[in-house]
A and B are shown apart, each in its own frame.
Chain A
Amino acid sequence: MSTRTLPLLFINLGGEMLYILDQRLRAQNIPADKAKKVMNDIITTMFNKKFLEELFKPQELYSKKALRTVFDRLAHASIMRLNQASMDKLYDLMTMAFKYQVLLCPRPKDILLVSFNHMDAIKDFVKDTPSILSQVDETYQQLIEMYTPLSNGEFQLIRQTLLIFFQDMHIRVSIFLKDKVQNSNGRFVLPTNGPVPRGTQIPGLIRIFSCSGEELTRLQFNNGGNYSSKTVVCLQVNSAPNPLAKEELNLLARLMGGLEVQKPGSTDTGFRVNLFATDEEEEEALISRPNELSYGVISIQATKDQQANAELTKIMGEFTESGDPSSSASSKGDDLLAMMDGL
């Protein structure tokens, strides 16, 4: 469908991943310098110039497997090591979080505001490192240039493309269940109250006009909900981490299981990160996000992509421990992955 969806998908999922990792690193008392290095390394990889150049080209969305592979590589672009279960849980959380945001956007264009919020948070993570910050800034500019001119109709197409990508994902996330933003069947709660989006009137009014344009009749009807017209503006405020966040991360951590340390490389000492050892830790990972992006519990059902994807098999086949990019990468995902491996 929309050929401009991939950058938004990647940046927003990446942003969610960084929130969670950041919280986890702090909750695990990873030494500040190591934690910062992890964040910087991942963000540097995420905003690599050539990588983004490829990403921003008009193209269809990747398959679920291909995108998951991209994030696997991204999560391992530093000295931090995650085991399979942790990576699974991390990815589940990231995708359900973004699915929720996409689904509940009052207007399709609000997806751009969500993206800007993620970008702001990323900028904050690297604010002390000018070289990476300038990369992020450049990408921010690209986002603005590419997406601000789009109409609401074109954004709705982007949103519909994203919703097809997230279709049938109903993984239950405990913090979301607890906050009653997700039902026990894994579906998000869609309120029939609250403010109507900018540009929309509260349902209830019927107006009949004469041929000359004057209003003849006004009728009211019951809209069955409880709407208000107070406009909600997505503020770009970086809120301080919520102490309760710790609790949530613990939960996630418990669900995700501990991390196994891999044999450290010859020079850099890798370190073990219990990504989400307890439920509380899981919740913490989610609560610590800025308020305007807060969401309730999201049920995620890990989808199993049954189709043998020839392109993906090829990508997977090119993974080696040494991570050398294949020079004969031909399918679209290969180029990106090759670049990531080569960084």
Chain B
Amino acid sequence: MFHKEKSIQLKNSASALYNNLSVLRIAPRRLTYFTVVHANVVNMVSTSWDGLNYSHRQLQSKEPNVATSTSLIMQAAFCALPSRDLLVVSSQKGIQMYESDGSIMVYWHALDTPEAPTAHAVFARGISAVSDNYICVGVSSGAVLVFDIPSKGSNITLSEVLEEHKEAITDIASECSGSQECLANLVTADDGGNMCVWKSGEEFQLLNKIPGLDITCSSVKLWKGTVLAGYGTGQIRLYEAVTGILHAEVNAHARWIYSLDIAPFSGLLLSAAEDSFVRVWHLAITPETNSVEIAHLHNECVTDTQICGAKFCDGDGYAFAVTGYDLSEIIRYVQS
């Protein structure tokens, strides 16, 4: 169903972090950007669709004062809003937002870091664009920061702090930007597997809480009103967002899931875990009849690799890319 294509070489290897791959497709310029985090560096690769041109860039996490200490990056993700695309980098020190090509930093938000380290680590993790003009970033305290993004310029402001989670945020996802109208358009997940479902707006509204079973939800997606959640036990669960009804449960992987992705136009779902497997599934969701179907389509085994990132390269799921711990390449697969 899929076959392997030529890999993209990286300047250094991927770190073992959840959702450690982000992809941005720039159709007008026939380019695709990839970002992979290595410790305190974001590796960016820009590839032309004809496969002939590659360019690399590295972004370091900003250190406002101290020259010697390292600030490890937890996640780097592209946020595609109707008016602009931004690259958001979340680290132990704070949140940086860049123009999507990584050329200019447009915003910096510092986290409240205590004078001396405390038993609970401080970091930002979980990044998503929401609706037309928001970007949400999670924090280790469980808070979710909501940033208001103007259509251009650097006048980005912190508009709200959502405080529902008690454990560190792991991942955030949204759907329905632009013209679509959705009841729920944001889901946030934490280390205990608890999830909150929100509706964005001037004030974000909490619609539902889906309790976890003390099992980390490491990756989450929202599609057609359904929460797709990947867990540390290797399970994938599909919940109806606003009601919390469990529609499907898949014993998908033998180890901790690190990444989920959905191709919204085709309903293809991608899951990747420490067990070296990437799996492709097909989802059929009919909100009107409350019916959910999930079928397994394909497996890829990346030998001797604990996978940490897997993303579709386009909205149809025609191609996907994979990163693994200690691997200095982005492996690509294309439908046969």
Residues of chain A at the chain B interface (Cβ within 8 Å): 1-4, 57-60, 103, 106-108, 151-154, 156-157, 159-160, 163-164, 167-168, 170, 183, 187-190, 192, 196-197, 199-209, 211, 213, 219, 221-225, 227, 309-311
Bound Cα distance from A203 to B275, whole angstroms: 11
Decide if B254 touches A164 in the complex (CB within 8 Å).
no
| Contact between chains at B121 and A207 (CB < 8 Å) | no
Asked if B118 and A225 make an inter-chain contact with CB atoms under 8 angstroms apart, the answer reads no
Using A1-B72, A225-B275 as known contacts, say yes or no to A192 and B235 having CB atoms under 8 A apart: no
B131-156 near A? 1/0 per residue, CB < 8 Å: 00000000000000000000000000
Report yes or no: A203 in contact with B68, Cβ–Cβ below 8 A.
no
CB distance from A247 to the nearest CB of B (A): 26
Report chain A residues within 8 Å CB of B247: 208-209
Known: A151-B216, A311-B68. 16 other contacts (CB 8 A): A103-B325, A153-B192, A156-B256, A164-B39, A167-B13, A190-B303, A190-B305, A196-B254, A200-B251, A200-B254, A202-B254, A209-B249, A211-B245, A219-B295, A225-B254, A309-B68
Residues of A within 8 A of B162 (CB): none
Residue A224 contacts which of B232, B246, B301, B326 (CB distance < 8 angstroms)?
Answer: B301
Roughly how many angstroms separate A227 CA and B234 CA in the complex, as a whole number? 13
A190→B326 contact, CB < 8 A? no
Which of B102-110, B175-183, B286-294 is the interface stretch? B286-294
> Residues 246-278 of chain B: 1 if any A CB is under 8 Å from the residue's CB, otherwise 0?
111111111110000000000000000001110
Q: Which residues of A contact B250 (CB under 8 A)?
A: 205-207
A164 touches B15 (CB 8 A): yes
Q: Complex: how many Å from CA A207 to CA B192?
A: 23
Residue of B nearest to A150 (CB): B119
Contact pattern, B 296-332, Cβ under 8 Å of A = 1, otherwise 0: 1001010111100000000000000000011000000
Partner of A1, one of B92, B232, B253: B92
CB-based contact A224/B277 at 8 Å: yes
A57 to B275, CA, bound (A): 34
B-side interface residues toward A, CB under 8 Å? Answer: 12-13, 15-17, 38-39, 67-70, 72, 74, 92, 116-121, 123, 167-168, 170, 191-192, 214-216, 232-235, 245-256, 275-277, 290, 292-296, 299, 301, 303-306, 325-326
Residues of the B chain whose Cβ atoms lie less than 8 Å from the Cβ of A188: 304
Indicate whether A153 sits within 8 Å of B232 (C-beta atoms), given known contacts A3-B121, A222-B299, A311-B68.
yes
**10 closest Cβ pairs, A-B complex:** A153-B191, A221-B296, A153-B216, A201-B251, A224-B299, A163-B16, A3-B117, A58-B117, A205-B251, A200-B233
B residues in contact with A164, CB < 8 Å: 15-16, 39, 72
A224–B123 Cα distance when bound, in Å, is: 36
Q: Which residue of A lies closest to B140 (CB)?
A: A157
Return chain B residues, CB-CB under 8 Å to A4. 119
